[in-house]
Structures are given as C-alpha cells and as structure tokens.
Structure 1
Amino acid sequence: MTTDVTAPARTIRAGFVGGGFMAAVHSRAARAVGAALAGGASSSPSRSRDAAERLGLARGFDSLDDLLADADADLDVVHVCTPNATHADIVRAALEAGKHVICEKPLATDAATAAELADLAAERGLVAAVPFVYRFHPMAREARALVASGETGRLVSVQGAYLQDWLATPNDDDWRVDRALGGPSRAFADIGSHLVDLLEFTAGERVTRLNAVTRTVYGARATNTDIATEDLVAVVVELSGGAVGTLLVSQVAPGHKNGLVVELGGTAASVRFEQERPERLWVGRTSDSRLLERDAARLSPDAARLSIVPAGHPMGYQDAFNAFVADAYAAIAGERPDGLPTFADGVRAVRVTEAVLRSAASGEWTEVAA
C-alpha cells in the first residue's frame, strides 16, 4: 500500500493567470509538487510584477500573450485564477497555444462555451482539469469507497449543504456579486457546484432532475447595486438510481465559515462527510453509529493514497488542493489518476447550474442535461 499522492516523473513548468487568493493557493500547490513556477500574468504589467513577487514566480509578464509565447518560460501548464467571466477566453488561448490547463470553476459562464472548451482540449490531446478539490480529502474518498462497495446498501436519500457567511451583511461585497464579472449565478456556481460535484462523486450517481428556489437577500451592497445574482439556493434533487434529497447553499449564513456537508443514506447504512471536520467520517446503522477516523492503515486504497501524514496529524484544504495538482500534473506526465476532475466535470457543473436557474425561474421541476 502506498501513501503517496501521484507525482509527475519530470519537472512541470507552470504559469499562472491572476494574482489573488486562488492564484496563491494554486502556486503553493504547484510548488509543493515540485513544479517550476515559470511566470504569471495579471490584469496589468504592474499587477503581474506584483503577483510574481508575492507568489514567488520567476517573472511577471506584461500580458497573457507574452506569457504563452515566451520561449524561456516554456510552459507545460497554465493555471487560470481570474474572475469567472474571463475564464473562457484565457482557457481558449492557452489550449490553442498547446498548453495544458487547470481552470478555476466555473469553466465558463454558460454550458455551450464550457463544452466547446472541453472539446478543444480533447481535440488537442491536452490535460484540462477543474479544481473540485474536496474530492481529494481522504475521508471523502473513503465515503465513496463505502458506497461503491455496497456497505451502505441501495441509496435512497441524500442531503447536503454548503453554508458560508462572508457575504452575510449588506456591507460585505465582492466582484462575484457583479453579474458581468461573476456570471448569471453566484452562490450556486461558486459553492453549490462543489456540493453537487462531491455528492455525485461520492454517490457514484448523477442528479437527473431538480426543483430549485433562489433568493437575493441584499439587492444592494457596499459598492454593487441592482444585484441580480443569488445569495442562497434550496434544491430538491432526484438521482439516477432513484434516491431523493435536499441541498441548501448559502453565502449569507451567519456563523458558517465553510460548512460543506454531504450525507448519503442507504438501506443498510448512512455515511456523512463534513469538510470542516475532514479527519473523520460518520457511519450510521440502525444497530449503532461510529466515527471512522483517518488512518491510512485502515482505509480503502484510494483514501490511503491521499493520506500523506500519520493518523492524528490533521490534514486540510491546502493538502487536498496539493493532491489535486499532483494528480493533474501526473496526468500531464501520462498517468491516469483516479478521480481527477476534468473539463467534462466543469461542463457538468455549468449544466447543473443552468438547470437550477431555469427551475428557479419557472418554479417547476427541471431535467439536468447529461
């Protein structure tokens, strides 16, 4: 049994577009995997130089075109960490330049464009990944393994939530609130997409139809007015195997920092994963309930692979992100790591988001495109 995440056989040369929080997360992960941080580009030459200094990149480039074309940078992969509405153009340019791509979600703000990008990556034979990183918590993989092994029995119910409070007051504001930058959906596209991805990944089934309600709690904030994107979403879902359930997504839930929770209820057992308590998994049966602690010696092979420190030494979000980047880079090197979220998963997330918006607008059940 190995407890190492997949690692590339050679040094990957990585470039970064954007210089904010997510660029910092991506660059830390790339550095942890042993990549060469060859350069970056941001919204202006001065911002590019500032980002390069802060993130420890070899050089800040004046533009995306300069970054992609520079022979000294010689990029293998481009990490796209910019506002949502800019993703598609940057991804397309990187793919057309022959670069592998890791793009923050949403891959695009509409499903048709996302599908075009996925097709382009496939045509060029390029690795294209979207960081649905909660898949990379070892105990999320253990939940998946328990369901796949049949230990839970047939799934009959699901419940999930993703609750945050960073936009809980009208004085809280962010570029994501602006539809022109963030796209037509905010709360669901931003965090609801993670919830559905984790649900479908652990369940091994897809949401086939849904009924959604959205709410914009604050129509005006500190700098944004006439806000059209949603603060919270409630969704009833039906899965391909017949299970039904409920999902709640909110960015205005006081006291909740990153409350991502998925519970899968089967005929024999229930399994619950909580991202804020990622070192354990709750397993419930009619006879008893127990907390399964992360211990590589007692986990399924895939969960043990991602469990890179001894039991009792907590792992967290950056560890999961590092493991995602390690697997993405391994795919670039020719490996086929299990569970890597690709552009196909990015397309799926946008299609689910569009179904949520259609259902909320009509008040009716809506089918989710495959």
Structure 2
Amino acid sequence: MSARTAPGVAVIGGGFMATVHSRAARAAGGRLVGLVGSSPERSAAAAEALGFERGYASLDELLADPTVDVVHVCTPNALHAEQALAVIRAGKHVVCEKPLATSAADARTLAAAAEAAGVVATVPFVYRFHPMVREARARVQAGELGRVLTIRGTYLQDWLLASTDDNWRVDAERGGRSRAFADIGSHLVDLIEFISGQRIERIAATTRTFFRNRAENAAITTEDAAALVLQTGSGAIGTVLVSQLAPGRKNRLHLEVSGTELSVGFDQEQPESLWLGRRVGTEILPRDTDSLKPDAARLSIVPSGHPQGYQDAFNAFVADTYAAIRGEQPSGLPRFADGVRAATITDAVLDASEAGTWIDIPSDSFVAANRYDAAIPDLTVPTPSLAAENRTA
C-alpha cells in the first residue's frame, strides 16, 4: 500500500453486508479490486453488480493477489474465524463482520493472531460512528453526568416475527450458538461500554426461543430474544432487552445512561439528536457542529438539518480503518479486542441463562488472558470452507 495512494480492497461474500462494505470502501477512497463468493459464477456476478474489478474463483486466489491490501469478511458467522485467520496469515489487513467468531475462544485466537502479524484488524461496531454517540461519550468523559448510576438499553427488530420468517442465522451450525444477542445484542453492549466508560462485570440473563420451527429450519436452538440485568465495575446497574420479534421495530437501538447530574439518551432510529435529561429541565440537542464536542464534530460531515444515517456511520468506520492502515491512530476505532469483548459477553449471556445464576465477566483484555508468541495459533475448532456455504451474508 505504501506505493499506492489508495488501498486495494477485496471482499469475501456477496450479500447485503458486502454491498454495505463496498459502498463504504469506495467512499473511503479504496480501490475495489475483487470479490469472492460461494462459487466462481457468483463471484463474477457479485463483482460486476458491486463495481469490483474482478471476481475470484477461490479464496486462495484472492489471498494470493498482491494488489489486495485489506480484506472485508462478510460471510455467515461460522465462516468468520477460518476466513479472517487465512487473511491474517496472508499478511493482509482485515475487517471482519461481527460476531468475530462463534466462540470467545476463537475470537481471542483471531485477536492474538492479528497482533502477532502486525496487521490492522477491525470489527464494524459502526454505531460508534454516529456523531451523537460520540457527543454522549464525550459528555460522560468530561464528567457532566457525575457518577454513573444506571444504564438502560434495548435493541428491537421485527424481521423474524412470524414463524414463516426464516434466515440462515437461526441455524446454529451457520450462525453460531447465539443468534439475537450475537447479531444485535453485541452492538448494544459494545455501545454501553463505549459511551458509559463502564465495564460490565456481572450479568444475570434469560433467553427465549419462541419458534422452534420455521419455514426452512427445524429444531431451532438459537434465541429470538434475551433479557439481562447487569452490574458494572463501579457499581452501576442496568437492564438490556434484545428481540427480533418486536412488531413495528425495524432497527431500534436505544440507550440511556443516567448519572447523579445528567442523563444522556441515544436512539439509532433518530440519530440526529441526543436527549439530555436533568432534574430541572431537559433538552433535545441537535447535531450541529457549533455545539458539539470535537470528536462528534469530526464525524459530522454535512450541515445540520441534512440527515446522516447508518451508511454514513459505516463509511466513517471504514475510513478510520484505512487511516489506521496508513499508520494513523483514529479515536474509538473498534478492533479485534472489542470483538473479543463482545463474544465474551455473548457467551456469558447464554451461560447465565442456562445456569440460572449470575455470571462474572472478566474485565482484562484478550492479551492478558491469551498470551501469544511469534507463531500464529490455530483455531480451537474446525470451521467450514467457503465452498460449503451456498449463501453469503
């Protein structure tokens, strides 16, 4: 990349997330070199549709291409670990969709491998890149909330509301042990810790699978909804509700953090404002660079009154990833260690639900728990190949 002004970008997968990633890569100045799907024919079709220069016949062919600097992994969850590790071993930078892996152990392996290889490795917790999320975080960091007391978060969708609704994600073999929490709850707990500055220390949880059989999948074990109570290291308490069966809620991530002096509330479906609550008087703060903290103003790319949304947040995430590849240190960039954290909490949610008791969550980083040497480790469990998967995410 040092000899070129733009990173060479490749994508693994050809579905919805590949479309989102390719838009963001283009907006960040990347050169769309190539794409690989589940077959050479699908690779060629997806590459043409998304504006890539070529489709690869195989993942090996992609990884052997010296013009590729960074690879975006946009396939079903069970493929993430194997494919991201292959990218790392090829010495290329990697953006891997969440969940980083279907177990915390494999997520730690990936983070250690990326660290050992010296590559930039990021995971798209893109809600961090809404300007008003950065505004909320900056106000917490400035001490405006006082002592953080309570946290309340929900992430609600309705796309799996009916028993006739189906998707590969409900299948544990392709999506992993967790579905709703790994898919969307991971975003929420990442945002809780990112905004509040609090580390979740203990949780109690319950999960529900309301439909054991759907249109194409039977004997489903992955959860439709999860509810948990949490406690942070500083003693704050909170509640979290995650559901993919909430009628009328399309993608409603809402988070409220309350302290002794101020509450802040962010709603992803209304991302252009931040709710500020006080004992006397409340305020709706609009996205306006004249009144925002510097980190929020940096991400505010159009004038107030011209809405920014999900794709803008994704574009900013990819732009910061490419900046990190150039050697910069952008603030708040979610790296593989953050993916490990989300996977650790996801495992704890399921363990707490099965055990019916509180579960402690370690607050140390993956490095402290998983020391590595110069050798890149193997995964703890085998994962399927790309060719074995017909549908990409």
2: CA distance, partners of 1:28 / 1:151:
37
SS of equivalent residue, structure 1 residue 222: coil
Identify the match of residue 195 of structure 1 among 188, 203, 225.
Answer: 188
Tell me the equivalent position of 2:58: 63
2: CA distance, partners of 1:369 / 1:267:
27
Write the deviation string for residues 145-204 of structure 1: whole angstroms up to 9, x where unpaired. Answer: 111111111000000000000000001000000000000000000000000000100001
SS of equivalent residue, structure 1 residue 238: strand
2: CA distance, partners of 1:129 / 1:17:
15
Q: Where in structure 1 are there 5+ consecutive unaligned residues? A: 1-8
Identify the match of residue 262 of structure 2 among 254, 259, 269.
Answer: 269
2: CA distance, partners of 1:195 / 1:217:
22
Identify the match of residue 353 of structure 1 among 341, 346, 361.
Answer: 346
How many matched pairs? Answer: 360
SS of equivalent residue, structure 1 residue 353: helix
Tell me the equivalent position of 1:75: 68
Identify the match of residue 321 of structure 1 among 314, 329, 335.
Answer: 314
Q: How does 1:231-250 map to 2 (within 5 A)?
A: 231-250=224-243
Tell me the equivalent position of 1:4: none
Runs of 4+ in 1 over 4 A off after TM superposition: none
TM score, norm. by length of structure 2: 0.91
Tell me the equivalent position of 1:344: 337
Q: Which amino acid aligns with 2:344?
A: R
SS of equivalent residue, structure 1 residue 209: strand
SS of equivalent residue, structure 1 residue 109: coil
Matched, 1:15 2:10: yes
Write the deviation string for residues 244-266 of structure 1: whole angstroms up to 9, x where unpaired. Answer: 01000000001100010010000
Q: Where in structure 2 are there 5+ consecutive unaligned residues? A: 364-393
Matched, 1:208 2:201: yes
1: CA distance, partners of 2:353 / 2:120:
34
Q: How does 1:265-344 map to 2 (within 5 A)?
A: 265-344=258-337
Q: State the percentage of identical aligned residues.
A: 60
Q: What RMSD in Å do the two structures reach over aligned CA positions?
A: 0.7
Tell me the equivalent position of 1:149: 142
Identify the match of residue 26 of structure 1 among 4, 21, 24.
Answer: 21
Q: How does 1:34-49 map to 2 (within 5 A)?
A: 34-49=29-44
2: CA distance, partners of 1:281 / 1:317:
16
Q: Which amino acid aligns with 2:283?
A: R
Write the deviation string for residues 332-356 of structure 1: whole angstroms up to 9, x where unpaired. Answer: 0000000000000000010000000
Q: How does 1:117-128 map to 2 (within 5 A)?
A: 117-128=110-121
Q: Which amino acid aligns with 1:55?
A: L
Q: Which amino acid aligns with 2:236?
A: A
Q: How does 1:161-180 map to 2 (within 5 A)?
A: 161-180=154-173
1: CA distance, partners of 2:307 / 2:279:
30
Cα shift at 1:10? 2.5
1: CA distance, partners of 2:5 / 2:325:
10
SS of equivalent residue, structure 2 residue 155: strand
TM score, norm. by length of structure 1: 0.97
Cα shift at 1:54? 1.2
Q: Which amino acid aligns with 1:43?
A: S
1: CA distance, partners of 2:131 / 2:19:
23
Q: Which amino acid aligns with 1:208?
A: E
Q: Which amino acid aligns with 1:78?
A: V
Tell me the equivalent position of 1:6: none
2: CA distance, partners of 1:219 / 1:56:
40
Tell me the equivalent position of 2:248: 255
SS of equivalent residue, structure 2 residue 327: coil
Q: Does the CA-based 8 Å contact 1:352-1:369 persist in structure 2? A: no
SS of equivalent residue, structure 1 residue 345: helix
